[in-house]
Amino acid sequence: MIEHVKTGVLLAKGVCPQAPPGMQGYSDQVTGWVKWGVLALIIIAALVSIGSILIGRIFSHPHASRYGAMGLGIVVLAAILYVTILGILGGITGSGC
């Protein structure tokens, strides 16, 4: 029984993930749009957070500064997740065998 499981695992390990015929171009296009869209949102959120910190400091508004700092922390976490998720997706889909 254990030998059958080992054989099944080895067979599954050798399978290359591929998009269905004719779908690779669309898949690449949509993935590219999502990557650039998320990257643009991260950059915009970082700029808005930094602006909130600056405006809060200039006009002595502590709530704006606090929200800007929290937003900047969330942007950093989102950027880390962005890079991690791209690595996971690249590991799953691969670049061919």
Residue partners of 63: CB distance under 8 A and separation at least 6: 56
Residue 13 lies in a domain: no
Residue 44 lies in a domain: yes
Q: Which residue range forms the structural domain that includes residue 87? A: 30-92
**d(Cα 30, Cα 25) in Å, to the nearest integer?**
9
- Top-confidence range, 4-8, 15-19, 77-81: 77-81
**d(Cα 86, Cα 42) in Å, to the nearest integer?**
15
Neighbours of 89 (CB within 10 A): 12
Q: How many domains does the chain have?
A: 1
Residue 25 lies in a domain: no
Residue 19 lies in a domain: no
What does the pLDDT look like over 32-57, one tens digit per residue?
A: 899 999 999 999 999 999 999 999 99
Q: Which two tokens mark 18?
A: 């591929």
pLDDT (0 to 100) of residue 14: 64
Decide if pLDDT at 87 tops 90: no
What does the pLDDT look like over 52-80, one tens digit per residue?
A: 999 999 999 999 999 999 999 999 999 99
**d(Cα 58, Cα 76) in Å, to the nearest integer?**
24
pLDDT (0 to 100) of residue 82: 93
